[in-house]
Amino acid sequence: MKIYMIPVNDGYKLYASEKKKTLKSKLENRIEKMNQGRLKSTLEKYLGKMENQEELTLKMAYSFEDVEIAYSANISEEEAKTKCEEMSQKYFKKNIWLMATYGVLCPVTFVAAPVLPVLNWGFTFFFAYKFSAKYRGIRGYNKILKSNFVKEENLDLEAIIKNYNQKDSKTS
């Protein structure tokens, strides 16, 4: 699997060459088939909070065996590795406390759900999913940093982003 490191405005973003079915995409398909109502609107609200594009790419990097990082020919391999390491550290600092919080809240809500009707097992599922997404994101960056960096001469940024967004809308 290839992951493209593309310069965007003041930094870089990662885009995966392949998409795999995730729990979020399966849930999106299920919600589309539901009738309008309170349950559908509630699920749509939580669905938007499940994961973003960066976490989805990192989860895919974590799940595939062979990962290559393709970067533009405008920068050197050392610079690409440095930028990727900076993105990894920034992601880690931003998400380590969130991951720990979700890790604590998941068993607490599981135990408290039968006693407190306000806390149901939907919260437990949501906290477990967020914990898993943050963990896989951190591990995905670790795998990316250990993978091969490949210089791409003809890296068509617009086509990659357009293709990624089309795949995203197909899995949605």
pLDDT at 171 over 50: no
Of 97, 104, 85, nearest in space to 134 by CA: 97
The pLDDT assigned to 172 comes to 44
Gap between the Cα atoms of 143 and 117, Å rounded: 41
How does pLDDT run across 148-160, given as a tens digit for each residue?
A: 888 876 666 666 6
| Percent of the chain clearing pLDDT 90 (strictly above) | 23
How does pLDDT run across 18-48, given as a tens digit for each residue?
A: 777 777 778 788 888 877 877 777 777 777 7
| C-beta of residue 153 within 8 angstroms of C-beta of residue 8 | no
How does pLDDT run across 106-144, given as a tens digit for each residue?
A: 999 888 888 887 777 788 888 998 899 899 999 999 999
pLDDT at 84 over 80: yes
